[in-house]
């Protein structure tokens, strides 16, 4: 593999970018505002914690991507759906049975959302 080699100290120093603390705090504040992080005060210091699980975040991100792709009215949705089926079957063919069950469950609910499925967060 090509590229520059360095020792641990050089690698560590290259990761410690000259980012201002205010930049970091601005990013953390945005994550709090979006509901991804929570914060509590302890001895005049904010303690931050995750408010969503990795699975919830993954679900929200996937839902936003799919809705974005399907939301383009001038595009045929079949290539996206076909790609989804290919990706699912490429990982584990038995997941197609799970997908079929979810489709049947969702279809039987009509316009209602399937229980337990989260609405994607609005993008800001």
Q: What is the largest CA-CA distance in the chain?
A: 59
| Last residue in a domain, options 35, 50, 65 | 50
Closest CA to 71 of 117, 120, 10, 11: 120
pTM of the model: 0.52
Same domain, 30 and 75: no
Closest CA to 56 of 2, 100, 118: 118
**Span 17-65, pLDDT tens digits:** 677 888 888 999 999 999 989 988 888 888 899 999 999 999 999 888 8
How far apart (Å, rounded) are the C-alpha atoms in residues 61 and 36? 12
Q: Residue 3 — pLDDT band, cuts 50, 70, 90?
A: very low
pLDDT at residue number 29: 92
pLDDT at residue number 113: 55
How far apart (Å, rounded) are the C-alpha atoms in residues 78 and 70? 10
Same domain, 64 and 97: yes
Mean pLDDT of 71-85: 84
pLDDT at residue number 33: 95
Q: Over 80: is that where the pLDDT of 10 sits?
A: no
Which structural domain, as residue segments, surrounds residue 29? 19-50
Same domain, 66 and 92: yes
Same domain, 105 and 66: yes
Total domains in the fold of the chain: 2
96 in a structural domain: yes
102 in Cβ contact with 114 (< 8 Å): yes
Same domain, 58 and 71: yes
């Amino acid at each position: 593999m090509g590229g520059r080699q360095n020792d641990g100290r050089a690698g560590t120093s290259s990761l410690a970018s000259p980012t201002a603390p205010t930049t970091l705090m601005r990013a953390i504040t945005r994550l709090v505002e979006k509901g991804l992080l929570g914060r509590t005060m302890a001895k005049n210091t904010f303690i931050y914690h995750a408010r969503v699980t990795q699975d919830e975040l993954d679900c929200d991100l996937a839902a936003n991507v799919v809705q974005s792709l399907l939301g383009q009215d001038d595009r045929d949705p079949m290539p996206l759906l076909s790609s989804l089926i290919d990706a699912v079957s490429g990982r584990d063919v038995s997941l197609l049975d799970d997908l079929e069950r979810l489709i049947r469950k969702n279809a039987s609910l009509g316009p209602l959302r399937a229980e337990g499925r989260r609405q994607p967060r609005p993008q800001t």
